Amino acid sequence: MTEMSETSQLTLPGKPSLLLKWCWRELWHGQLWPVAVALTLIIGCVFALSSLVVRVEKIMVDQGRSMIAADLVFRSPNPIDDAVLEQARTQGLTVSQQTRFGTMAFSEQQMQLVSAKAVESDFPLRGELILKKGEDVQHQVRPGELWLAERLFSLLEVEPGDVVSIGDAELKVSGRIVQEPELSFNPFSQMPAVLIHSDDLDRTGAVQPGSRVQFRAYFVGPDEKLAQLQQGITLEPGQRWISETSQGRTGDLIERARQYLSLTLILVILMATATLVLTCLHYTSTRIETVAMMKSLGAGKAWLWRWLSRQLMMLFGIAAVAGLSLGWGLEFLLRLPLSDALPDPLPGIGVTPFAVSLLVALLVAIPGVGISLLRLVDAPAISVIQQQVDWPVKRRGYVLILVPVVTALFWFGSNTLMWLTLAGLAVLLVVLAIFGLLFVALLRRGKWGAAVRLALSRIGRSPMATGAQLAALTSSLMLLAVIWLLRTDLLADWQQTLPANAPNVFALNISPELQEAYIRELDRNQVVRSDSYPVVRGRLTAINRQDVEAKKASGELSDESLRRELNFTWRKTMPVHNVLLEGEWHSQGGVSVESGIADRLGIGLGDELTFNVNSQPFSATVTSIRQVEWRNMRPNFYFIFTPDVMAELPATWLVSYRIEAEQNALVNQLGRDFPTVTLLDLRIMAERIQGILQQVSLSLSVLAALGVSSGLLLVLTLLRLSLSQRKEELKLYRTLGASRQRISATVWSEYGIMALIAGIMAAAGAEAVVAALVKWGFELPLQWHPALWLVVPLLSLLLVVIIIRSMIRQLLLPLRG
């Protein structure tokens, strides 16, 4: 036996050059090339997706930071400590300061309440400030200059060069503010803006003890330095940090887009990994006889590992080059739909996509390929003459699974959304497999034709294999449905951020005497408007006669709404853009509460709330809870009272309306005709938000398309490999006398049934996963997707038809003659 082994070993290539040539030939003429293709697709898809994610995220972050004029903003009601500014400069951050305050602006003819901003010469650190005087344009404020918002020229009846008093300072008007980066989304806190230089602040005399002044520090620098600065400062009451993710609507939009980008990348990696595992399992099944033959010729495991490792190294090298090239071209194609929305020049991608794509491919290949190859190397030599179906994989092989798992733990960390998704998918795989088997068992009880009975018998013969196949097919369809549904739900929600017909001008401080005349003028010009609302400012002072201030001091309540005056209104009917969640809309003695503040303060139906307006206390009973969409740019309120509670209090009126492009002159006309009314023109802000929405929406649509494509590739791979494994069984059917027509009908019936079951379960699973993600991950309202239950089963059947039609002749070819 020893002599025979030594003699046999001489037939195996021993020299490195011969072994390398054999590995190369085996790579392309064997069955390992599908694994190379799978790795290429993983690297290509992950590179393209991660590159686009990097670019889109940089664009969104840049847009968001442009909206706050810096990378990070520190806001305080008190002068900012010099130690904070010095600490930032020591860390290499660029620092700029701003002081803003409300004051009266006086010209020779008029006066107007304005929001004055005293800025330094380097303001803004992000975004663009456009100041215009005649044909001259500049982008910073210089000492001695005064710049006015467009509307102030008509309200104050001034021109450039005229003198306007800001507090005690008399300054010449330098020109118009065409664009400023900082835009607020709260119409109640908006006043026409004026810009002066910080050197002129003391001349105004506006900053006095007791004055309502806000101090801001702007920082620009590396993210890690910004985080370090934040960690080193303990916030005092009234202080807060402002970043691109905390800036109202755009902050929510950017954060949710980031979540979707990360989730899509993970789902694509999961589907690409499944594709790799399937192709590797197929390779293992086709090379068992080859390995058994080499073992019978004396090849040991060490030699087999050298043989396989050379193939794997060549395979990974080829896949890396091909995958990165494919990913580069694919990323370019993905950007084509976004060419009008992306900035020029594009932000760079750095080395992250290269590293991530190769690392992901390596991590998923270690267990995906390694476990299969361990089983292949352990194949018994007797398989040459007698096929062996099962032999155990040594337990150490499954340790390879820890490699990507530990990496995922390190990568995801405390990302609740990711773990929620992965855990839900794992549970659903088991549940879907069980339901699939139950459904098959139920079908087998019916009376069907011969082909369907044979197909059901084939499906039910091996419950474990059928369950695994159904779970794999269902999960593939489900993942691509999840990617597309999340994209659809996000875009639908973002339409609420700024609808096409959203108001873009607010009129505040309308006196009761002018309210009817102002509304009449809007209607005469056919302006689309909201209802008009009376507005009174006041505070919530007690809940069920328990003092709010005492609860704040004890730490029971700490909501932002308790620290400031709120805007109250009253109506006989509920606003059409609010949704009644609990209770009823009463006409007397009641107050309706917005659901968010009700949850935060523990307010429920029947509670007695006490308020204070101009030192006048009054109480009302909670009669209803409303859901309010704060992003629709309509007048919205925390508390809406019945008219009998507040109608006697002095109030001003508010109305919002939409000005179209052809009505631009109307805004200035209204300003001249009603000089005491405060007009908030939000059209520039609306255009900027719509620009961000367009970029993000297009980007997510492209990313979703790529994710769906990866899912389709997985489904096609799964079906092709499943059909390829049927060849031997079909030969047996033919030997037993089955006709080609009967075999063809059986194949069509088997895979048609499985496709239908998988499609229905995938639709149910996708609804469940999306509902969980929307509810607890993205915090969006739940939506039902009835079209999904039709589209996914039809898509599943269509894919089956495509695969079977392309392979049925090949499967039946050996049976001819």
Integer Cα distance of 553 and 151 in angstroms:
43
- On the question of pLDDT at 639 being above 50, the answer is yes
Check: CB of residue 762 under 8 Å from CB of residue 796.
Answer: yes
214: left (phi over 0), alpha (psi -120 to 50) or beta: beta
- On the question of pLDDT at 772 being above 80, the answer is no
Mean pLDDT lowest among 32-46, 304-318, 358-372, 384-398: 384-398
How many alpha carbons lie under 13 Å from residue 68 in its C-beta half-sphere? 27
Mean pLDDT lowest among 162-176, 467-481, 568-582: 467-481
Integer Cα distance of 603 and 606 in angstroms:
9
Integer Cα distance of 394 and 616 in angstroms:
80
CA 275, 279, 280 angle in degrees (round to 5)?
A: 115
Residue 6 has a pLDDT of 38
pLDDT-derived band at 188 (thresholds 50, 70, 90) equals: very low
Q: Give me 545's structure tokens.
A: 């006669």
Residue 396 has a pLDDT of 65
Q: Give me 610's structure tokens.
A: 């006490």
Q: 43: how many CB neighbours lie within 10 A of its CB? A: 28
Which residues face 658 on adjacent strands? Answer: 528
User: Which of 190 and 489 is assigned the larger pLDDT?
Assistant: 489
pLDDT-derived band at 5 (thresholds 50, 70, 90) equals: very low
Closest to 372 measured CA to CA, from 34, 768, 791, 610: 34
Check: CB of residue 124 under 8 Å from CB of residue 69.
Answer: yes
Peptide bond into 345 cis (omega under 30): yes
Residue 592 has a pLDDT of 93
Mean pLDDT lowest among 231-245, 335-349, 504-518: 335-349
Residue 147 has a pLDDT of 92
Which residues face 360 on adjacent strands? Answer: none
Q: Highest mean pLDDT range out of 146-160, 542-556, 725-739?
A: 146-160
Segment 43-55 shows an average pLDDT of 79
Residue 119 has a pLDDT of 92
Give me the DSSP letters along 349-375: -TTHHHHHHHHHHHHHHHHHHHHHHHH
CB-based contacts of 221: which residues, under 8 Å, 6+ apart? 71, 88, 91, 92, 93, 94
- Tell me the one-letter amino acid at 415: N
Integer Cα distance of 136 and 175 in angstroms:
9
Q: Highest mean pLDDT range out of 59-63, 219-223, 352-356, 741-745?
A: 219-223
In the block, which residue shows the tokens 């993905």? Answer: 334
- On the question of pLDDT at 27 being above 70, the answer is no
Residue 412 has a pLDDT of 66
Which residues face 580 on adjacent strands? Answer: 626
- On the question of pLDDT at 743 being above 80, the answer is no
Collapsed DSSP state (helix, strand, coil) of residue 661: helix
User: Which of 151 and 582 is assigned the larger pLDDT?
Assistant: 582
pLDDT-derived band at 646 (thresholds 50, 70, 90) equals: confident
Segment 395-405 shows an average pLDDT of 72
Q: Which residues of 740-774 are buried (b: 16+ CB within 10 A; e: fewer)?
A: eeebbbbbbbbbbbbbbbbbbbbbbbbbbbbbebb
Percent of residues, the chain, with pLDDT higher than 70: 71
Compute the mean pLDDT over every residue in the chain, rounded to the nearest whole number.
Answer: 76
Check: CB of residue 569 under 8 Å from CB of residue 532.
Answer: no
Collapsed DSSP state (helix, strand, coil) of residue 656: strand
- On the question of pLDDT at 622 being above 90, the answer is yes
User: Which of 195 and 460 is assigned the larger pLDDT?
Assistant: 195
* CA 368 to chain CA mean position, Å: 29
Segment 729-740 shows an average pLDDT of 66
Integer Cα distance of 511 and 677 in angstroms:
8
Residue 3 has a pLDDT of 38
Residue 469 has a pLDDT of 65
CA 476, 477, 480 angle in degrees (round to 5)?
A: 90
pLDDT-derived band at 118 (thresholds 50, 70, 90) equals: very high
Residue 11 has a pLDDT of 46
Check: CB of residue 217 under 8 Å from CB of residue 122.
Answer: no
User: Which of 749 and 389 is assigned the larger pLDDT?
Assistant: 749
Integer Cα distance of 671 and 668 in angstroms:
5
Percent of residues, the chain, with pLDDT higher than 90: 8
Segment 525-536, tens digit of pLDDT: 888 888 889 988
Integer Cα distance of 767 and 783 in angstroms:
9
Segment 440-470, tens digit of pLDDT: 777 777 777 766 776 676 666 666 656 666 6
Integer Cα distance of 715 and 709 in angstroms:
10
Residue 196 has a pLDDT of 92
Segment 425-429 shows an average pLDDT of 71
pLDDT-derived band at 386 (thresholds 50, 70, 90) equals: low
Peptide bond into 367 cis (omega under 30): no
Segment 566-589 shows an average pLDDT of 87
User: Which of 789 and 3 is assigned the larger pLDDT?
Assistant: 789
- On the question of pLDDT at 4 being above 50, the answer is no
pTM value > 0.85: no
Integer Cα distance of 252 and 254 in angstroms:
6
User: Which of 302 and 471 is assigned the larger pLDDT?
Assistant: 302
Q: 721: how many CB neighbours lie within 10 A of its CB? A: 16
Which residues face 98 on adjacent strands? Answer: 119, 216
- On the question of pLDDT at 109 being above 50, the answer is yes
- Tell me the one-letter amino acid at 225: K
User: Which of 754 and 121 is assigned the larger pLDDT?
Assistant: 121
